[in-house]
Structures are given as C-alpha cells and as structure tokens.
Amino acid sequence: MTTGTNGRHEGDLRAAFTALEEQAPDADTVLRAVRERTGRRRGLAWPGGAGQRHQGGQPRPPRALRRPVLLTGVAAVALAAGLTAALVPSGSPAGQPPAAVQIPGLSEGTAEPPITSHSDLPAMSTVSKAMATAFSAADDDVLYTVESGRTHGYVPDAYQDWSWPAQPAAGQREYMRTYYVQTPHGKPGKLLPTEDNGFVYTIPRNDPQLVEARMTMVCYQNFSSGCGYGNTETPAGTWAVYHGKFDNPDAGLDDFSPQSMAQSIAQGDWRIIGRTRLDGQAALELTETSKAKDQYDPKPVRLWINAHSYLPIKMTNGVGTSQPSWNTWSFLTPTPAHLALLRPHIPASFPHSAGSRHGRPD
C-alpha cells in the first residue's frame, strides 16, 4: 500500500474496500428481519406469500444528468436577475445562524405541465438535427444547470453548475463553478452552502488524466471541518486558491453533451408525447422509450425541449415515487453579470487560507 505522501493508487482503494468487508451485516439478523417484515415466521418470503408489502417504494433513480435550459426573452432576463441576486450565498456573521440558499425554480421541482396538443409533432430525426444545430449556436454561452431531487417531500440537496463556454473546444480557456448545498443531517430543513469551487483551465487537445488548472475553493462551516478536492484541503470557514495539476474535469463531455443527446434522440431513445408550455416557453414533451439502452429508473422519465430552438429545458424521473429527481439547464448569454456567476462567492467574513496540498506532485 502506498502512503499518502507519495500519492494513492488503485491498490490502496482496493485494500480499503477489502477491509470494509468487515462491515458486512450478520446473515441471520438480516434474514430474521426479512421474515418478520414479509409476514413469514419460517423460511423466507416468496412471491405470492402473505403479508407482502405494497410495492410502493421503487429503487431510487440514478441522479440524472445535467442539462441546460434555454431561456429566452423575459424569462431569461428574469432568471438572470434572480440568479445574480439569489444564487450567491452570503456568509453568516459570527454567531448568526447561516442563511438558507434560495434557488429559483426549485420549489416547482417535479411539477409537470399538462399536454396542450398531441398533433403536429415533428419527426425525431428533425428534432435530433435541430438540437445539434442549436447546441452549436449556443456553444459560447454560459451553461447553468441545477440538479436536485426530493425525498419524502423535501429537497435535501442541490447542485448548481456554471460553465463557460458551454461547449468548449480544445485549446479554449474553460471556467467552471460548482456550488453544492444541502440540508443538515439529510433531514428537512434549510438548504445551506457546503462548498463552492471554481476551476479555470485550458481544454486539452487530447484526453489526459491531469490538466493544469487554477482551483478556488470556498469551504463552508455548516457540515464539515474542511473541503477536500484532489490533493487539496481547505479548512471550513475559509477560502483558498490552488494552482497545479488536477484531474481533468472533462468540461462539455458528459452524457448530455450535444452530440450524445442528439444521438440518443436519433437512435430512438426518446419519443415525443405532445406539446405543452414550461417556464414560459413553448415546449415539446418527450419520454424515454424501451429502446434506450440505459434506462432511467424509476419511471416515468420526462424530457422537455424548447419547441422552437429544440434545446432541452428540463428532465424529471420518478415523479410519483417518494424520491423524484430533476435537472434543469440554461444557456445564458455571456454578459458581465452572467460571467460573474462563474466565480465562487467568497463571504466577507471568510479569511483566505493557504490551504494544504499533499500527495500528488504538481
């Protein structure tokens, strides 16, 4: 096993997992509980047996993926103003309880607008091509995504990400920011900031493991004693800037890249249900088909795209279950106000920290 001062390797991880096998629960204890819960006193419970629980709680869905929301006209202006005002967390004065983070649109969550028309729907091939074109036109925008969910009626956490350019090319300078909030102890409560980090790096021409980057980390005191990223450690209640090699963030290469999204539509993974309006936009509502290789779970899975631009607006899955989740995404024009959102907010009360680095050589 390698020590921390020389960097960790996969073998260290495997060794840790092997050690964790000790956390395996006792088989008799588990089986006894299963028997009791299924109404059987002897043997295990089988299909058709008495005392079956209602098949209510389906497995929770994968946290779905990140997508952009196209905002146009009034909606875009309103959201931009709201973002600037509401998304940036404020530090709490000493002795004051931390302020909750307000995320526009989060309360709507999984609300699904009614279908207004089932006719005059475009062909999926048309949607696929138009979407690819629309993504290209928006590749220099600021991409803003929100990824969240609901469990037993409340929102336990949310990711907000900003990246610019939205679809970077090799050699371009990329700015990325991730702001994560959650409720204390995973229970209902205020969404409080956990960490806010920003990356600046040049998109590499190949796909290296490491890239040279500047990383700013703002670590809040609400949940942990520090925030770790790569080989850095930033004490809670401080901020720090690091220069060096970090794992390649792979900006613009996730599953919901324009290419992969357009491709999944082209190959029949989605079909259009009808027309509707969402967030003030004329929208097409799509659902995942059984052809999709990697199905989202639980169902239903819904995707809304702008009916004019064909850019995606929102995706939900598991609506009707106890733990639905959703993603929204926006393409924001790169105005000074929007570009400012790429910088992590540093509360005035947070001192600068030198942070610490260990392990991996720079």
Partner 1 sequence: MTFEEFAAARLPAVLRFAGVLTGDRALAEDVVQEALIRASQRWQTIERLERPEAYVRKMIVNEFLSWRRRSWRTVPGGTGGDLGEPPTPDHAADYAERDAITAELAKLPKRQRAVLVLRYYQGLSDPEIAAVLGCRPGTVRGYATRALAALRVEMAEPSRQPAGLREERI
Binding to partner 1, residues 67-126 (CB under 8 A): none
CA distance 126 to 130: 6
- When the beta carbons of 25 and 171 are compared against partner 1, the nearer one is 25
CB of 18 to partner 1, least distance (A): 6
Query: What are the residue ranges of helices labelled H in 119-176?
Result: 124-137
- When the beta carbons of 9 and 291 are compared against partner 1, the nearer one is 9
Does 347 engage in binding with partner 1 (CB under 8 A)? Answer: no
CB of 100 to partner 1, least distance (A): 16
Residues between 258 and 287 that touch partner 1 (CB under 8 A): 260
Per CB under 8 A, the segment of 68-76, 137-145, 291-299, 326-334 that binds partner 1 is 291-299
CA distance 128 to 354: 48
Instruction: Determine the size of the site formed for partner 1 (CB under 8 A).
Output: 83
Binding mask 152-191 for partner 1 (x = CB under 8 A): ----xx------------------------x-xxx-----
CB of 230 to partner 1, least distance (A): 5
- When the beta carbons of 24 and 123 are compared against partner 1, the nearer one is 24
CA distance 223 to 195: 9
Buried b / exposed e along 129-159 (16+ C-beta atoms within 10 A): ebbbebbeebbebbbbbbbbbbbeeebbbbb
- When the beta carbons of 37 and 118 are compared against partner 1, the nearer one is 37
- Cβ neighbour number for residue 106 with a 10 Å cutoff: 18
- Cβ neighbour number for residue 54 with a 10 Å cutoff: 5
Q: Are 345 and 196 in contact (CB under 8 A)?
A: yes
Residues between 323 and 342 that touch partner 1 (CB under 8 A): 323
CA distance 61 to 146: 17
The residue from 72, 172, 202, 248 that contacts partner 1 (CB under 8 A) is 248
- In angstroms, what is the C-alpha Rg of the chain? 23
The residue from 86, 116, 188, 250 that contacts partner 1 (CB under 8 A) is 250
Q: Are 91 and 349 in contact (CB under 8 A)?
A: yes
Amino acid at 254: D
- When the beta carbons of 47 and 336 are compared against partner 1, the nearer one is 47
- When the beta carbons of 9 and 352 are compared against partner 1, the nearer one is 9
Relative to beta strand 281-288, strand 232-235 is unpaired
CB of 311 to partner 1, least distance (A): 19
- When the beta carbons of 14 and 173 are compared against partner 1, the nearer one is 14
CB of 200 to partner 1, least distance (A): 16
Classify residue 301 by its DSSP letter: E
Binding mask 20-59 for partner 1 (x = CB under 8 A): xxxxxxxx-xxx-xx--xx----xxxxxxx--xx-x-x-x
- When the beta carbons of 173 and 294 are compared against partner 1, the nearer one is 294
CA distance 128 to 311: 10
Binding mask 205-244 for partner 1 (x = CB under 8 A): ----x-------------xx---xxxx-------------
Cα 217 to its chain centre, rounded Å, is 18
Measured in degrees and rounded to the nearest 5, phi and psi for residue 84 equal -60, -40
The residue from 116, 136, 247, 354 that contacts partner 1 (CB under 8 A) is 247
Listed in sequence order, the residues at least 6 apart from 81 whose beta carbon sits closer than 8 Å to its beta carbon are: none
